[in-house]
Amino acid sequence: MAKYAVYLECGKGGLCMAHVLDLPGCFVRAANRSQALQALPEAIGAVAAWLRQHDEPAPGEAEAVLLEVAEEINDIGPFDPGDAAALFQPERASTDPKEMENAFRLMGHSRHDLLELIDSLPEEALPWQPYEQAFSIQRTLRHIGNAEEWYVSRILPAERLPAEWEHDDEMPLMEFLHMQRATALDCLRRLSAEERSGVYYPTLWTKHPGEAWTARKVLRRFLEHEREHTAQIRELIQQWRTNTPS
């Protein structure tokens, strides 16, 4: 039986996210705490299958799961763009270059999945919206890139951010995505040992100046955020195909 420590962030009328920090990219979002915990074993299985797909070490397919809540943070949670996200106790620990490269490798798998998903889409699919005000595939991809820029800015001062980010909204979409990832990883690789162990409370570009950030939290949010939106893009593609005459 595999035992997993679960980290919860709950707020906004009961909405809850459950994370398994020992399985990077493993989380669920649910209407309440109980539903989040109920959904977690399936999510663990899905992440394990994803890791195996990319030849990464993973739990066995038939392995039973035992969950134990290790930490719960209330009245917080990234449920909408701009919301504060929890910093869990293990994420206050310093990280090192080897751990970071492991995280970058998983982020590479996630980006491969995203690009493979959209590779054969016709141009007209990108701006399609299922309803007015909904995120299109195009807008979601921009959001993924912009979020990565923002995550890095949580632990680096503005003067050390890449000059390429100043006018990136003018770049073609795919060029923008590739540039954002490459420059973000370069910034993270250049972090000093002191910066990799720091706890930061950024006041720029945030509605939550008291929100704490660390390098570990940045790495977690990179992977969780892209995997979540990749799933949303997959759903958008299905809806577009259903609503587009063949």
What pLDDT, in 10s, does the model give residues 79-89?
A: 888 899 999 99
Q: 155-180 b/e with 16+ CB inside 10 Å = b?
A: bbeeeebbeebeebeebeeeebbebb
Asked if residue 70 lies in contact with residue 7, where contact means CB atoms within 8 angstroms, the answer is: yes
Nearest to 73 by CA among 61, 84, 59, 62: 84
Strand pairing class (65-74; 2-11): parallel
Residue 23 pLDDT greater than 90, yes or no: yes
| Torsion angle, alpha carbons of 165, 215, 21, 142, to 10 | -10
Termini Cα distance of the chain: 48
What's the rounded Cα separation, in Å, for the pair 101 and 106?
9
Residue 220 pLDDT greater than 80, yes or no: yes
More confident call, 80 vs 6: 6
Asked if residue 135 lies in contact with residue 143, where contact means CB atoms within 8 angstroms, the answer is: yes
What pLDDT, in 10s, does the model give residues 145-162?
A: 999 999 999 999 999 999
What pLDDT, in 10s, does the model give residues 27-70?
A: 999 999 999 999 999 999 999 999 999 999 998 877 789 999 99
What angle, rounded to 10 degrees, do the helices at 97-118 and 173-189 form?
Answer: 170
Q: Which two tokens stand for residue 156?
A: 């680096």
pLDDT cut 90: percent of the chain above it: 91
